[in-house]
Amino acid sequence: MKVIYKKLGREKAFGLSDYGSNTIVIDSRLQGRKHLEVALHESLHVYFPEKSETVITNTARRLANILWRMNYRKVDNSLGM
C-alpha cells in the first residue's frame, strides 16, 4: 500500500483512500493518536471496501486504542536518528 502525506484542508478530511490504486492519503498535519487512527481507518477502507463507514470507523478506533495502550508511537527518523 502506498501512503501519501499532504494537507487535506480543501477536501475537509483527515484522510482519503483509493482501493483501485491501493493508496491512502493522510493529512500531513496529523500527529499522535489521531494520525494512528486515521492511518488505520483509511487502510481498512482499502483492504475491506465492502464494509460500511460505521464498521470501518469503529474498527479503526478500537485498533488505535489497543495499539496506543501498547505504547505504539510514530518515530520521526527524518533526521537520521
Domain extent listing, the chain: 2-69
CA 51 – CA 45 distance, rounded (Å): 8
CA 63 – CA 81 distance, rounded (Å): 28
Cell numbers for 4: 501519501
Q: Are 5 and 23 in contact (CB under 8 A)?
A: no
The sign of the dihedral angle between the CA atoms of 59, 15, 27, 2 is positive
Confidence of residue 76 (pLDDT cuts 50, 70, 90): confident
Per residue in 4-50, pLDDT (tens digit) is 999 999 999 999 999 999 999 999 999 999 999 999 999 999 999 99
Mean per-residue pLDDT, 54-76: 95
